[in-house]
Amino acid sequence: MIARLRGVVLEKDAESAVIDVQGVGYLVNFSTLALGKLPPEGQAVDVRVRTVVREDAFDLFGFLTRAEEEVFLLLNGVSRVGPRMAMGVLSGLEVPELVAALSRGEVARLAKIHGVGKKTAERLVLELKDKMKNVHLEAVSRGTAPVAQSGGTQSDLVSALLNLGYKPPQAEKAAELATSRLGADASFQTLFREALKSLRAGA
């Protein structure tokens, strides 16, 4: 089982990145937030990895910190929550915020994450509330890849788009457009998807 990759970022898109390790390219799925913090293409990266094998697929899921990986495993252990939904949840809130929301039973906040909904949020709280105290949050500050400094949602959006290879004027325009359409209180994941949508449409 692949547990860690150290190599160079070859390509990035909205859900995954290709990491070259001595000439072999590994397609790794990341949360939206983690993708926004990966180094630009051509730069070195060191990520934690979980391998998920099914009859019809062999998928790699990547993480920047031990805490992110731990939360992913806990989410994936919840009934009717697979690895891709777990990544979707991780895309909605930063790990410390997600752990806090689960610990406090903030169903309404969790339900706002794209693809979750109230019933799933309630199930997450029911099954994970007491387990959050075991997550090693100190690992967040010792990430295995550079973490962008937070300057608000707008700044984070621009940074994430720049890391995907878009030019500053494109990234800034798309971030402003997404925020104006959806409102500044929309989740980062929702705003990021809207910004990508406008860029791909040539807006």
Place domain 153-200 in its CATH homologous superfamily: Ubiquitin-associated (UBA) domain (1.10.8.10)
Distance CA 27, CA 38 (A): 14
pLDDT tens column, 73-86: 999 999 999 999 99
Measured between alpha carbons, how far is 46 from 5 in angstroms, rounded to an integer?
6
To the question of pTM greater than 0.85 for the whole model, the response is no
CATH 3.40.50.920 for domain 4-63, yes or no, is: no
> H-type helices in 31-94, by residue range?
32-35, 66-76, 83-92
Each domain of the chain, given as residue ranges in start order, spans 4-63, 66-142, 153-200
Question: What is the number of helices (H) and of strands (E) in the chain?
Answer: 9, 5
101-113 pLDDT per residue, tens: 999 999 999 999 9
Distance CA 51, CA 35 (A): 18
Q: Give CATH for domain 66-142.
A: 1.10.150.20
pLDDT in tens, 124-143: 999 999 998 888 765 443 33
pLDDT of residue 168: 82
